[in-house]
Amino acid sequence: MTSNTDTVLIVGGGPVGLVLASFLSLHGIPSSVFERSEGIPKDLRASTFHPPTLDMLEQIGVTKTLVNQGLICPTWQFRDRQEGEVATFDLSLLKNETNHPYRLQCEQWKLATALDALADTDDAIDLNYAVEVIDIAQDDGGASLTVQHADGSKSHHHGRYVIGADGANSVVRKSTGIRLEGTTIPELFLTMSTDYRFEDAIPNLANIAYITDPDEWVVLLRTPTLWRIMVPTDPDASEADMYDKIKQDARIQALCPKDGIYEIEHSTAYRVQQRVANRYFSGRALLAGDSAHLNNPLGGMGLNGGVHDAINLVDKIRKIYDGAEAESMFGLYERQRRQVCIDTVQQQSIRNRKMMAAKTPQERKLFHDDMRAVVADVKRHHEFVLKSSMIASLRDAEAIN
């Protein structure tokens, strides 16, 4: 049994768990992180960092590392399969609000890798891979975990609080009875990646493009090495059909015809949910990131929102360690981050999906006209990018007390 009355136990060493540990350490608070996988998975998941996230990560010195490995994107756009460019949004309008007036396209594993390197040289962070947390308990004195190791042996760990940064199937959430309320989106999201240079083939294409279409919307996202193509997919299709290279090629050819078949380097289909936990804490157990909320990736807000949760929560824990009352601090964390998640992340991501798939010509015209009017008016344009970059939601959270 390891025990330190000040330690914060963190279940999950994904990006949110590692951000929690790094920011706790910044305030002299020790943590132990328990991660089930053997190392950092390098699969393609989130790839967008919004301006305020980059500003926050500057405090622990990782923003420069990400910027050096990422693609700076000062603009992003809405397009339409038939009409082409609809509206291009300019993040340089945020230059007085942020040190990073752009979206950074950079794979999420690069953040986890940078944080893992920080943890390696930091005595306040005890990072354990290949260990699965199988049980969580709490009492007036603290929280404890039972951890199963790769060889089947078990160990027990005790600390002051436990944070579930353990993703969609969070054991911390389940141990508390907190419910993840909401819905599952009827289609799967299929992501394919290729090194084909869409920027040379599609006129005026921004590095991030949401392409509306009544039959098959598409997202095109450029990373430093590849383009990712995301399309909705029938959940009843067989895996063989979904991953068939010829069928995948046909879907990309329909968007951008070219000679020869598209070389698809990776593809994944994943189920997307719109859900928010009914509570963000129970006693000494707290939730942050995907354990507390899930949303579709249209807008790139899941990972960013998780990082914002982590930094907000660390600020509350720091105040508790300085003498503030825990229940009221955790209550404030819940009110701020849960409200913002419902009002902004859920609403915006649901709206984005609706706009992408608008069926009738009237609906599509309304949306396109509105987007064009937004970019034509500098005040509306500025307000729009404040929202889409998640700066407005952080300000809204600050105003909640």
Ligand X SMILES: Cc1cc2nc3c(=O)[nH]c(=O)nc-3n(C[C@H](O)[C@H](O)[C@H](O)COP(=O)(O)OP(=O)(O)OC[C@H]3O[C@@H](n4cnc5c(N)ncnc54)[C@H](O)[C@@H]3O)c2cc1C
Binding site for ligand X (CB under 6 A): 11-17, 34-37, 45-46, 108, 132-133, 165-167, 171, 268, 270, 289-290, 297, 300, 302-303, 306
Least distance between ligand X and beta carbon 117 (Å): 17
CB of 380 to ligand X, least distance (A): 25
Smallest distance, ligand X to C-beta of residue 302, A: 3
C-alpha Rg value of the chain to the nearest Å: 22
- Judged by beta carbon, residue 30 or residue 306, the one nearer ligand X is 306
Q: What is the DSSP letter of 345?
A: I
> And the tokens for 381?
């344009």
Rank residues 17 and 30 by Cβ distance to ligand X and give the closer one.
17
Q: Nearest 5°: phi and psi at 398?
A: -60, -35
Residue 277 region, left (φ>0) first, then alpha (ψ -120 to 50), else beta? Answer: beta
User: What is the sign, positive or negative, of the torsion defined by CA atoms of 258, 264, 269, 273?
Assistant: negative
73 vs 375 by CB, closer to ligand X: 73
Nearer to ligand X, 31 or 375 (CB): 31
In the chain, the amino acid numbered 3 is S
Burial of 346 per CB tally in 10 Å (0-12, 13-18, 19+): buried
Report in angstroms how near the CB of residue 43 gets to ligand X at its nearest: 7
Cβ proximity to ligand X, 270 vs 376, nearer residue: 270
Smallest distance, ligand X to C-beta of residue 134, A: 7
Q: Nearer to ligand X by C-beta: 73 or 303? A: 303
SS3 sequence of 298-326:
CCCCHHHHHHHHHHHHHHHHHHHHCCCCH
For ligand X, the closer CB: 80 or 166:
166
In a 3-state reduction of DSSP, which class is residue 233?
strand
Pairing of β 154-159 and β 142-149: antiparallel
Task: Identify the residue whose tokens are 């399969």.
Answer: 81
Q: How far is the CB of 297 from ligand X (least distance, A)?
A: 3
CB atoms within 10 A of CB 194: 19
Least CB distance from residue 289 to ligand X, whole Å? Answer: 2
